Amino acid sequence: MGKAAFISLLIAALSALLGERIVNFRKVTLASRELVQNHLPNCVALKNLDFGSEDITIIGDGLAFISTGLKYPGIASSDTPGKIYTLDLKDSRMKPMELRMPRNFDLESFNPHGISVYIDPEDSIYLFVVSHPQHKSQIEVFEFVEDNHSLVHLKTIKHELLHSVNDIVAVGVDSFYATNDHYFTHEILKGTVEPLLAQPWSNVVYYSPEEVKVVSEGYYFANGINISPDERHVYVVDLFDHNVHVLERKDDNALVSVKSVAVGSLCDNVEVDPETGDLWLGCHPNGWKFFMSDPKDPAGSEVIQIQSIHSDKPVVTQVYADDGQVIIGSSVAATYGGKLLIGTVYHKALCCDLK
C-alpha cells in the first residue's frame, strides 16, 4: 500500500471510530430523551442562589447547607467566588444566608462542589467541602459556629488518591468516603478523551489520617455518595451508568457491593432522609443537552426518590421533572417537613411543596 492510501485509510478508520464513540456518548447521555413536565405545587426560586447550588444537605433540625458558585471544566459558570449558604427550613421567609468565612481562608480560589455534614457526640457540627482551587481537588473541613453564623477552618486535606473528587460523605471528624469522577487529571484527557472512551475507571476512596485506600471501583462516573441512617450502607451514584450502587460497610471501612438500582436518568447527588431512609436524587434527564448547554434548547431537571432500597423491590419514583423552562441542570434534591429543595449545577435553586 502507498503512503497516501495508508494515510487515507487511517483517517477513515479514525473518523469511523470517533463517530462510533460519539454515538455511544449520545446513548450514555440519553441524548434523544424527551421530558414530560411533572411539576410540584408552590415552587419558589430561592433568593441569592443564582450561580448554582450544586450540593445541599439538611441536618436534623431543618437547617440546609448549600454550596454555590462551582466552576467545573466544560460547564457554564460565573466569575463569582464560591460560597456556602444556609437555609432554615423552619423559617417561613425561606431566605438563604451566606455563611461568614474565616479571615485566614483564601476565598478567591474557593470552588465548592460536594458537601457533607458530620455531627459529633457533643453536637459540634463539621462541614466537609470538596473544593477545586486551580482545578485541583482538596477537602476543606470547617466547624459551623451557630452564634455568629460562620465557619471556622480546621484543615485542608489533599492526597494523591483524592485526585478528581466530586462528592464526599463524612463518617467522623476527620474521616470520609469520596468519589473520584474521573480517572485522568489532565484537563483535555478529562474533558474529551475520557467521556469518549467511556471506561469504568472511576472509583471511591476512604480517607482517615491513619489510612487512605480505594474501597470500590468500576464506575463510569462515580458522582454522589451518601450513607444510610444506620451507617451500615453507602450509596454511590454512577452518572453514566444510570444507577445507584448499594455497598455494605465492613469493620475496616472497606465496601462490599450488594446491588445496584436502575434510575433511568443521569443522577448527580444523593441525599438520604434520616427518618425514612429514602434516597433523593437530583438528576440530569438529558445529559447531552446538559453538556451542550444551548440556551435555546436547555437541559431539564429531574428529581427521583427511591423507597425501600434494601428490599427485593425498591420503588423508584419520579417526583419532579421540568424541561428546562423553569430549572436547568438539577444536581441535588433534599427534603424536610414536606418541602423539597432542588439545587442545580449553575442555575437557580427551588423550594417546592411535596404533594
Catalytic residues, which ones?
A: 113
Identity of the residue numbered 185:
T
User: Would you count residue 145 as binding ligand NAG (CB under 6 A)?
Assistant: yes
State which residue, 109 or 150, has the beta carbon closest to ligand NAG: 150
State which residue, 100 or 186, has the beta carbon closest to ligand NAG: 100
User: Would you count residue 150 as binding ligand NAG (CB under 6 A)?
Assistant: yes
Three-state SS at 23: helix
Three-state SS at 16: helix
Min dist. Cβ of residue 241 to ligand NAG (A): 42
State which residue, 152 or 196, has the beta carbon closest to ligand NAG: 152
Could you tell me which of 166, 173, 207, 180 has the C-alpha nearest to residue 67? 166
Are the beta carbons of 328 and 347 closer than 8 angstroms?
Answer: yes
Min dist. Cβ of residue 122 to ligand NAG (A): 15
CA distance 162 to 207: 9
In degrees rounded to 5, what are phi and psi of residue 203?
Answer: -145, 180
Residue written as grid cell 451508568:
241
State which residue, 150 or 175, has the beta carbon closest to ligand NAG: 150
Positive or negative torsion for Cα 229, 284, 354, 310: negative
Q: In the range 249-268, which residues lie near ligand NAG by CB under 6 A?
A: none
User: Would you count residue 125 as binding ligand NAG (CB under 6 A)?
Assistant: no
Min dist. Cβ of residue 144 to ligand NAG (A): 10
User: Would you count residue 152 as binding ligand NAG (CB under 6 A)?
Assistant: yes
Which range binds ligand NAG by CB under 6 A, 83-91, 143-151, 194-202, 228-236?
143-151
Residue written as grid cell 458522582:
223
Site string for ligand NAG, 218-237 (x = CB under 6 A): --------------------
Min dist. Cβ of residue 149 to ligand NAG (A): 8
User: Would you count residue 148 as binding ligand NAG (CB under 6 A)?
Assistant: yes
Which range binds ligand NAG by CB under 6 A, 40-48, 147-155, 161-169, 279-287?
147-155
Min dist. Cβ of residue 145 to ligand NAG (A): 4
Using left for φ > 0, alpha for ψ between -120 and 50, and beta otherwise, residue 163 falls in alpha
Min dist. Cβ of residue 117 to ligand NAG (A): 18
CA distance 105 to 94: 28
State which residue, 102 or 191, has the beta carbon closest to ligand NAG: 102
- Binding residue count for ligand NAG, defined by CB under 6 A: 5
**Cα→Cα distances 121→20, 118, 172, Å:** 54, 10, 10
User: Would you count residue 100 as binding ligand NAG (CB under 6 A)?
Assistant: yes
Three-state SS at 93: coil
Min dist. Cβ of residue 267 to ligand NAG (A): 36
Which range binds ligand NAG by CB under 6 A, 91-99, 130-138, 142-150, 226-234?
142-150
Which range binds ligand NAG by CB under 6 A, 13-21, 145-153, 194-202, 291-299?
145-153
Number of C-alpha atoms within 13 angstroms, CB side, residue 331? 28
Are the beta carbons of 252 and 243 closer than 8 angstroms?
Answer: no
Could you tell me which of 37, 29, 84, 80 has the C-alpha nearest to residue 343? 84
Q: Please, which residues bridge with residue 228 across strands?
A: none
**Cα→Cα distances 56→70, 251, 331, Å:** 13, 29, 9
Residues near ligand NAG (CB under 6 A) = 100, 145, 148, 150, 152
